[in-house]
């Protein structure tokens, strides 16, 4: 079915359900979601995630209003810049933002002949800054049905894992003062790692809040045996932990954490860490799932507002072929329901539909294995929609 026909039918069904729920006096949420389809496979995968959200709205009686904005290459083509002030204003006015991905082929696309501040990625950095998104969440889940894609030994992957990396996104080494100087004819480069207690406290609060919604364990990762910034990190995290007696806190050094992620990933629930450690550990955690098309992510600010996007890029090599895996974007939409709207049952319903479709053996090309049924991007979206039930 074409996306247009789907949205027409879904809208009529949704209007009917909305009226019924209103009559029954069930709490109805009206949610305004700004969508950034972006570039490459972005528009294809966002269309499927919207289908899933429309179905959730009709099943649970919510009202969802979508508005698209341009960012990245699509915005460069239309306006000459990767992000306009108008697009930022629309994103700020929404309750949450759902994004596909931005960027093109970095060797052939004309976007990469532009100065760095006009390239697609500048749009992403710009919107993160404008929306003050300081907390990055990257879940790494190994589904039983995809355990074969996990590069770890079977005795480890057999236990499965479901962890989430909570990474500080706007401070630390990547944002500290830096310079390169010459001293006595020798070049010297200096990068500065700075965190103040407020920056640490706000990310720690997010980490504990989210652990409370999960299995109630925080592993705070630092290098407190060497770095002052890590010692302050540990002190503030311990202070925050006092407000969450139901959450267990443990500390782990970053080098040990890197080893534990491949030795025993099942031990982790929420890994809370600073910017650079989180950058490295979240990529490591993604790789141990083995399935790039399945990995969701979210970036949150001080309120419940967030930008939700798959962890992968715009995959220009498969764009427009209807073969991309939309599940990472669909799972990002589930995170939006859970973390921005507190709609945990609705998020559970989306995640259950993903598990069901995998259990029935449907796979896009990237996660295909012997004996399974290969489907395209839009068919996968239709399957997910049809497996969503009220829990």
Residues that bind ligand NAD in the complex, under the rule CB under 6 A: 41, 101-104, 106, 121, 124, 292-293, 309, 312-318, 324-325, 328, 366
User: Which of 166, 168, 184 lies closest to 176, judged by CA?
Assistant: 168
Cβ-based nearer residue to ligand NAD, 121 or 168: 121
For the bound state, the minimum distance from the C-beta of residue 329 to ligand NAD, rounded and expressed in Å, comes to: 8
How far is 191 from 127, CA to CA, in rounded Å? 25
The answer to whether residues 82 and 41 touch, using CB atoms and an 8 Å cutoff, is no
Cβ-based nearer residue to ligand NAD, 82 or 172: 82
For the bound state, the minimum distance from the C-beta of residue 68 to ligand NAD, rounded and expressed in Å, comes to: 16
Q: Phi-psi region for residue 315, left (φ > 0), alpha (ψ -120 to 50) or beta?
A: left
Residue 85, φ and ψ in degrees, nearest 5: -60, -35
User: Which of 44, 45, 51 lies closest to 14, judged by CA?
Assistant: 51
How far is 266 from 257, CA to CA, in rounded Å? 12
Token look-up 């798959």 returns 310
How far is 22 from 295, CA to CA, in rounded Å? 35
For the bound state, the minimum distance from the C-beta of residue 121 to ligand NAD, rounded and expressed in Å, comes to: 6
Residue 207, φ and ψ in degrees, nearest 5: -60, -45
Integer-rounded Cα radius of gyration of the chain: 21
Q: Which residues are catalytic?
A: 174, 223, 255, 279, 283
Residue 243 has a CB neighbour count (10 Å cut-off) of 10
Cβ-based nearer residue to ligand NAD, 37 or 61: 37
Cβ-based nearer residue to ligand NAD, 270 or 331: 331
For the bound state, the minimum distance from the C-beta of residue 127 to ligand NAD, rounded and expressed in Å, comes to: 11
How far is 99 from 312, CA to CA, in rounded Å? 11
For the bound state, the minimum distance from the C-beta of residue 104 to ligand NAD, rounded and expressed in Å, comes to: 5
Cβ-based nearer residue to ligand NAD, 41 or 193: 41
């Amino acid at each position: 079915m074409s996306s247009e026909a789907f949205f027409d039918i879904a809208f009529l069904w949704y209007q009917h359900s909305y009226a019924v729920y209103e009559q029954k006096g069930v709490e109805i949420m009206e949610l305004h979601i700004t969508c950034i389809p972006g570039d490459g496979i972005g528009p294809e995968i966002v269309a499927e995630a919207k289908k899933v959200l429309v179905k959730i709205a009709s099943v649970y009686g919510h009202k969802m209003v979508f508005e698209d904005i341009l960012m990245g290459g699509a915005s460069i083509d239309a306006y000459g810049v990767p992000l306009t002030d108008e697009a930022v204003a629309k994103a700020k006015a929404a309750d949450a933002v759902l994004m596909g991905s931005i960027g093109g082929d970095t060797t052939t696309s004309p976007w990469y002949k532009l100065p760095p501040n006009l390239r697609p990625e500048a749009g992403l950095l710009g919107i993160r800054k404008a929306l003050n998104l300081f907390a990055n969440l990257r879940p790494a889940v190994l589904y039983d049905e995809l355990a074969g894609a996990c590069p770890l030994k079977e005795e480890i992957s057999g236990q499965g894992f479901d962890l989430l990396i909570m990474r500080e996104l706007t401070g630390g080494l990547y944002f500290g003062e830096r310079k390169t100087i010459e001293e006595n004819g020798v070049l010297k480069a200096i990068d500065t790692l700075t965190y103040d207690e407020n920056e640490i406290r706000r990310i720690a609060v997010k980490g504990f809040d989210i652990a409370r919604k999960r299995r109630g364990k925080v592993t705070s990762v630092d290098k407190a045996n060497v770095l002052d910034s890590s010692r302050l990190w540990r002190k503030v995290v311990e202070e925050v932990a006092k407000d969450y007696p139901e959450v267990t806190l443990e500390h782990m050094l970053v080098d040990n954490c890197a080893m534990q992620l491949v030795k025993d990933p099942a031990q982790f629930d929420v890994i809370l860490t600073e910017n650079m450690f989180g950058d490295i550990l979240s990529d490591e955690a993604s790789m141990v799932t083995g399935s790039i098309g399945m990995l969701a992510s979210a970036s949150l600010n001080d309120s419940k507002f967030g930008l939700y996007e798959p962890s992968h890029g715009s995959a220009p090599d498969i764009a427009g072929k209807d073969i991309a895996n939309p599940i990472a974007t669909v799972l990002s939409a589930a995170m939006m329901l859970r973390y921005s709207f507190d709609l945990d049952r609705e998020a559970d319903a989306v995640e259950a539909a993903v598990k069901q479709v995998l259990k029935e053996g449907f796979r896009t090309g990237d996660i295909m294995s012997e004996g399974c049924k290969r489907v395209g991007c839009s068919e996968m979206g239709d399957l997910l929609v049809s497996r969503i039930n009220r829990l």
